[in-house]
Structure 1
Amino acid sequence: MPDITPAELKQRQAAGEHPFIIDVRETWENEEARIEGSQNIPLGTLPQKLDELEDHKEQEIIVHCKGGGRSASAKAYLTQQGFTKVRNLVGGFQAYQQA
């Protein structure tokens, strides 16, 4: 799936949508600031959390980190595991805050 821009995500949220968002930053980063409604699963723990994500396998999943690098890795990993609708937030949380 194509990645999603911060503007598109904010537009969808403003319209009342609640997409499934995974924040792959470390817990301390998430505690400082976060996208409302996102679930924090640090990238290093993603393999251990696959069972918890099984219900979302066919749903759109938006992954993000600080700048987009870690979430690109998360997107690739989840796609390899059979998740079909994974999108990376372009520019990460930094771009989201500025959008």
Structure 2
Amino acid sequence: MSSSHPAGPATIDTTGLREQLTAGPGPRIIDVRTPAEFETAHIPGAYNVPLDLLREHRAELRRHLDEDVVLVCRSGARATQAGQSLAQAGLPNLKVLDGGILAWQAADAPVNRGKPRWDLERQVRLVAGSIVLTAVLLSVAVPGAQWIAAAIGAGLAVAALTNTCAMGMLLGKLPYNRGSSCDLDTIVGQLRDTAPTADRP
């Protein structure tokens, strides 16, 4: 059900993860999306550890993640980055959910739902597109404004090549995306509780 990927942690598909969760306590599921994305829809029993916080405190988090861990994001890109960070901190037994929460939902797997919000990737497309459109329109009256559009295009190209997104990380810090409080102490407290989660599928 899982396969190794040379550039990152192993992956596990939706079927494999569901089987593990059904058979017993299963792996620890860490969702690295923003708190707002997590509140919108998440796998029952998952813990929310936003990617920026995970990167900053990976050594501390590693001490509370000794068992098997499955990392989840929207489609797999952020989870792969999180896996690389935790692997560098010495955490074994990491897997990334192949296709992320999108694949999980497409398979009709159990999901806890909350208030609908735009996911981070959609926000990036809106902001980048709006800046490019504004720059092109401004270039009619303001010489050089087209270079703003070029800079955004270059930034998106770099984001694709490096599998990171500076704009996404900045947007993730906005109050809209932070949702309820999601600080290190709260997360560590949740991770210390090793009792099985009642609402897991």
Q: Deviations over 1:10-67 (max 9, x none)?
A: 11122233320100000000001110111001101113443144132x3211101000
- Separation (CA, whole Å) in 2 of partners of 1:77 and 1:53: 10
More contact order relative to length (CA 8 Å, sep ≥ 6): 1
Q: Does 1:69 align with 2:77?
A: yes
Match of 1:55 among 64, 87, 105: 64
Instruction: Return the letter of the residue paired with 2:42.
Output: R
Structure 1: unaligned runs, 5 residues or longer = none
Normalising by structure 2, we get a TM-score of 0.46
Residue number among 16, 29, 35 corresponding to 1:21 in the alignment: 29
Structure whose alpha-carbon radius of gyration is higher: 2
Q: Is the 8 A contact 1:18 1:37 kept in 2?
A: no
Which of 52, 57, 73 is the matching residue for 1:44? 52
- Counterpart of 1:92 (choices 87, 100, 103) is 100
Of the structure 1 ranges 64-73 and 3-12, higher mean CA displacement relative to structure 2 is found in 3-12
CA separation of 1:17/1:5 partners in 2, compared to 1, >3 Å: closer, same or farther? same
RMSD (CA atoms): 1.4
1:76 aligned counterpart, secondary structure? helix
Equivalenced residue count is 98
Structure 1 equivalent of residue 41 of structure 2: 33
Find the aligned partners of 2:26 and 2:67 in 1 and give their Cα distance.
12
The answer to whether the Cα contact below 8 Å between 2:62 and 2:91 also exists between their aligned partners in 1 is no
Q: For 1:49 and 1:76, locate their aligned partners in 2 and report how far apart those are by CA, in whole Å.
A: 14
Output the CA distance in 2 between the equivalents of 1:55 and 1:85.
14
* TM-score normalised per structure 1: 0.89
Separation of aligned partners in 1, 2:61 and 2:22: 27
Segments of 5+ residues of structure 2 without an aligned counterpart are 1-8, 108-201
Percentage of identical aligned residues: 33
